[in-house]
A and B are shown apart, each in its own frame.
Chain A
Amino acid sequence: MKNWFKNLSTNKKMAISALVLGVLAIFIGTPNDVHKIYVNAKEMALSTVKDQDKISVKTFADWLIKDKADFILVDLRNEKDFYEYNIPSSVNKKMENLLGSDLMRNQKVLLYGNDNIAAAQAWFILKSSNYKAVYILNGGMDAWKNEILFPKLSAAATPEEIREFEKVKQVSIYFGGTPQIVSDGSATALALQQNKMPELPKLTAPAGNITPKAKKKKEGC
């Protein structure tokens, strides 16, 4: 068998190799099978412990205002919630479709759900399938509401807290929120209920894909 192959001309050897690889390809079918994942447990555990992969809602709001948007913001909540309200520039993706979606492995991906749980699960899925830069919006939509849209200042705030609040207020108003001063601690829950979510700008442009930094020059010929 070996001799038989050796005695062939170079061209025939190449042709046979190509044919064998071609036939094998039929059985492989689709090579980028997204259901297989590889896990580097230590690396993942380390980055979790160090909290390197969490971004606070305040930092994030700041980025949005300064238009430093070189990441894809992914909303993991259900469609209904997404269309009621979503953080500007986000795209809605279902957890089960994450790997088949148009997210690129070299993009910065920022995940949020209602809280951290869904985001953490999605983080694991993406991280283990070789996505390099995956982050969690710390606290998710709950934190976004509490800290950005409806920040509260207790009546008995220190001057320092008040100064801090003034800054937050600007941010909150930017995103259409309603900052409020709470006189009675027990009324907080009630106040939250009445908060009207800001109107979504008609879903045309903003909730689209922010492509990572438009290429200056095209790659083609």
Chain B
Amino acid sequence: MMPYFKFDYFGFDFSLVVAFIIGIGFGFALERGGFGNARILAAQFYFYNMRVLKVMFTSIVTAMLGLFYFTWIGWLDISLVYIGDTYIVPQIIGGLLLGMGFVIGGYCPGTSVVSAATGRTDGMVFIAGIIFGIIVFGEMFPLLEGFYNSTNLGRVTLVDFFGLSQGMLVFLIVLMALGAFAAAEWGERFFAKKNGRGVE
């Protein structure tokens, strides 16, 4: 039964090998998607290239459908898949701040690694920035701890939150993603015409 690691199919040391292999796949996919390039990532926020949204939502939908159907067949015990607790206010504030950092710096942590791996100086400097930011957070942690641990809602999913059946929610997310893709395709063409530049 899956997830294999949780049922002791292999030990901790081998899990690090798995981590490395999965990481290679992850890095490969990010680079293929153009996410080693800050201009492509930043373009998301100026509507002329919506790759971030397309890649992100497609992968969320793919993994979500996979989890749903593997659970349905009975191969996966979804309760053993790690879902972090929701700390709603720190996560919304953190998200806003992270979004600003995204458009200012041009990367997010995962993509900056790919960018550095393909030789981009800005990616390397960005990683140095992340390290600095984490040190600042670490040093300020005694002050932030109260806020950091506030509004803990536990292991909440959208299923609990909206009170819909899981299948209905999966359907709605698929529908929302397809709608977002249609809008993105239209938006790209619209802004390309308006700005007189092509889709990169």
A interface residues (Cβ-Cβ under 8 A, vs B): 14-15, 18-19, 21-32, 36, 38, 104-106, 130, 132, 219-220
Q: How far is the CB of B102 from chain A (nearest CB, A)?
A: 15
B interface residues (Cβ-Cβ under 8 A, vs A): 1, 6-8, 58, 61-62, 65, 68-69, 71-72, 74, 77-80, 82, 84, 165-168, 170-171, 173-175, 177-178, 181
What would 13 more interface pairs be, CB under 8 Å, given A38-B74, A220-B82?
A: A15-B178, A18-B61, A18-B178, A22-B170, A22-B175, A24-B167, A27-B167, A28-B72, A29-B165, A29-B166, A31-B69, A32-B78, A106-B80
Q: With a CB–CB cut-off of 8 A, which chain A residues contact B7?
A: 105-106, 132
> Total A-B residue pairs with C-beta atoms closer than 8 Å?
83
Q: Considering the chains assembled together, what is the distance between the CA atoms of A25 and B1 in angstroms?
A: 22
Indicate if the CB atoms of B84 and A220 lie closer than 8 Å: yes
Known: A32-B78, A106-B6. A25 touches B170 (CB 8 A): yes
Q: With a CB–CB cut-off of 8 A, which chain B residues contact A104?
A: 77, 79-80
Known: A21-B65, A105-B1, A105-B80. A26 touches B167 (CB 8 A): yes
Nearest chain B residue, comparing its CB with the CB of A17: B65
Indicate if the CB atoms of A25 and B167 lie closer than 8 Å: yes
Q: How far is the CB of B186 from chain A (nearest CB, A)?
A: 14
Q: With a CB–CB cut-off of 8 A, which chain A residues contact B173?
A: 22
Q: How far is the CB of A71 from chain B (nearest CB, A)?
A: 15
Q: Considering the chains assembled together, what is the distance between the CA atoms of A217 and B68 in angstroms?
A: 28
Q: Considering the chains assembled together, what is the distance between the CA atoms of A104 and B8 in angstroms?
A: 14
Q: With a CB–CB cut-off of 8 A, which chain A residues contact B1?
A: 105, 130, 132
Q: Considering the chains assembled together, what is the distance between the CA atoms of A38 and B150 in angstroms?
A: 42
